[in-house]
Structure 1
């Protein structure tokens, strides 16, 4: 919390003055800050702590459409703060298990992961090219395992109205490699696009779906190794058994986009080279608020 001031003065003096107000007034003041601020200011005194942890405060930090968004069991807690912390500490499945939803802990911004089942994957209905399988490390029922394709294309979209307004978001592909038999993923950059539907992409970059030079090409090579230029995004380990590669950023404005039914679209395309690709296990696309440095 940077400052909480009531009637001017320093943050310390402001906190002291805040402590002299009626509890419902304190709650009203704190509800106009952020979840992070509410947790910090609760240390001022018992009175402020009680006010800062009240349902009046934490109801403001929860999305107004929450009851229609998540399963009722996700809201079965004794206080609004407990509901918030539950959604900030772990995701819940929504949309018949095709998406997961959670809140960014410090800000309350909405975050999602779209499962592979919720995306358009070219040739995914052909067992010779893609296989749908269970994975104990996935939050979804099934993941998509790439067998062999030369035309690689994954597309997805999400309504702007599902996201937090006035927020800069980043989009990530969440994936891993199924053993050492991968092919064409660490030496052939693919094009990644992120932007509003019907408009020129707000973000365009090139990505590898496996860190460069992970495995020696040997006799299983798709051809001569291509020197990958600097600036190409590579996967990074997440600590949950998966890796992620950044596809791009976008800004969800303060108003109007959801009224128009606008959507954010994103894609990964590897279609210009006729190299065969295999070995990828794809969990989904994650959309979360940008961090500093993104």
Structure 2
């Protein structure tokens, strides 16, 4: 994975001051604060509200080549404002933005950007258009009824900011009349050489704990857990963590981060789910 170039300019430098010239205490405190800020905000991304010239985010030029609308580059302020608020990609299948607090890349894969079993069968799923307060007009996949549920997605890890812990989160809603969710759903994350998602055997019995499976030598290739939806609130958005990944420099650009939400072992017919998408975002420190 390529590394992001880091750079910043500071208008003050204590080392450049004349040692023979008395230094005003207020000036010294101001300069010291500026240097401290430079140290804490030296990140591979844009930092909102920084007095230091912002640093362009990791890989942003390649990412916005797939933007649905032209990007205004007439000024840095306008460019940064767009990247902070978000840019839609691939006919609104994805959204890319830069977190204002950390300056790190974030991605949202909407329903249209996911691979959903039976989604084009009208008796099982329905595509509905909603006015979302954050995204405007947005198509979402609504589950009518299905026995074998599987919602897959993948992303090239080179698009994410390096050396960062990310969480992969499914965002969906369960209607009041939702049925068939007596069995827990299975959440999986893995790396693969191809973008194609391969189904995994779920032989181990586990509940609310991560299971790591080795396909070869080295670190685990697959991580999975189960989560019950029975006690989840109805009629509001639910966030369900599918996994966490650390974007180490050793990841090959050819590999993809793959993730899935599934439930087909119970045999129940499930209904009443509205899938908004999956967000990949830096995990906040507690």
What is the TM-score when the length of structure 1 is the normalising length? 0.68
2:225 corresponds to 1:205:
yes
Does the aligned pair in 1 maintain the 2:94–2:108 contact within 8 Å? yes
Q: Which residue of 2 aligns with 1:191?
A: 186
Give the SS at the match of 1:131: strand
Deviations 1:142-182 (A, max 9, x none): 1110011111111111111221111111001111123x210
Does the aligned pair in 2 maintain the 1:7–1:14 contact within 8 Å? no
Determine the C-alpha separation between the residues in 2 that align with 1:203 and 1:7. Answer: 50
Does the aligned pair in 2 maintain the 1:59–1:80 contact within 8 Å? no
| Farther-moved stretch of structure 1 (77-86 vs 270-279) | 77-86
Does the aligned pair in 2 maintain the 1:31–1:60 contact within 8 Å? no
State the Cα distance separating 1:82 from its structure 2 match: 3.6
Query: Which fold has the larger relative contact order, with Cα–Cα distance below 8 Å and residues 6 or more apart in sequence?
Result: 2
Determine the C-alpha separation between the residues in 2 that align with 1:128 and 1:262. Answer: 35
Q: Which residue of 1 aligns with 2:151?
A: 154
2:144 corresponds to 1:135:
no
2:142 corresponds to 1:145:
yes
Question: How many residues of Structure 1 are paired with residues of Structure 2 in the alignment?
Answer: 236
The aligned runs of 1:223-238 (5 Å cut-off) are none
Give the SS at the match of 1:149: coil
State the Cα distance separating 1:39 from its structure 2 match: 3.5
State the Cα distance separating 1:254 from its structure 2 match: 2.2
Residue 286 (structure 1) aligned to one of 259, 267, 279: 279
Which runs of 5 or more residues in structure 2 are unaligned? Answer: 1-11, 17-26, 194-214
Does the aligned pair in 2 maintain the 1:171–1:287 contact within 8 Å? yes
Distance 1:70 1:249, change over 3 A: same
Does the aligned pair in 2 maintain the 1:30–1:38 contact within 8 Å? no
Give the SS at the match of 2:183: coil
Q: Which residue of 2 aligns with 1:106?
A: 101
Determine the C-alpha separation between the residues in 2 that align with 1:126 and 1:66. Answer: 32
State the Cα distance separating 1:283 from its structure 2 match: 1.1
Which runs of 5 or more residues in structure 1 are unaligned? Answer: 20-25, 43-51, 216-236
Q: Which has the higher helix share?
A: 1
2:174 corresponds to 1:177:
yes
Q: Which residue of 2 aligns with 1:83?
A: 79
Q: Which has the higher strand share?
A: 2
Distance 1:98 1:67, change over 3 A: closer
Q: Which residue of 1 aligns with 2:163?
A: 166
Deviations 1:227-259 (A, max 9, x none): xxxxxxxxxx9xxx633111110111125521x
Does the aligned pair in 1 maintain the 2:125–2:143 contact within 8 Å? yes
Determine the C-alpha separation between the residues in 1 that align with 2:260 and 2:99. Answer: 24
Determine the C-alpha separation between the residues in 1 that align with 2:41 and 2:233. Answer: 49
Determine the C-alpha separation between the residues in 1 that align with 2:121 and 2:63. Answer: 37
Residue 67 (structure 2) aligned to one of 66, 70, 85: 70
2:270 corresponds to 1:263:
no
State the Cα distance separating 1:275 from its structure 2 match: 1.1
Q: Which residue of 2 aligns with 1:33?
A: 42
Q: Which residue of 2 aligns with 1:23?
A: none
Give the SS at the match of 1:170: strand
What is the TM-score when the length of structure 2 is the normalising length? 0.70
Give the SS at the match of 1:134: strand
Q: How much is the aligned-residue C-alpha RMSD, in angstroms?
A: 3.5
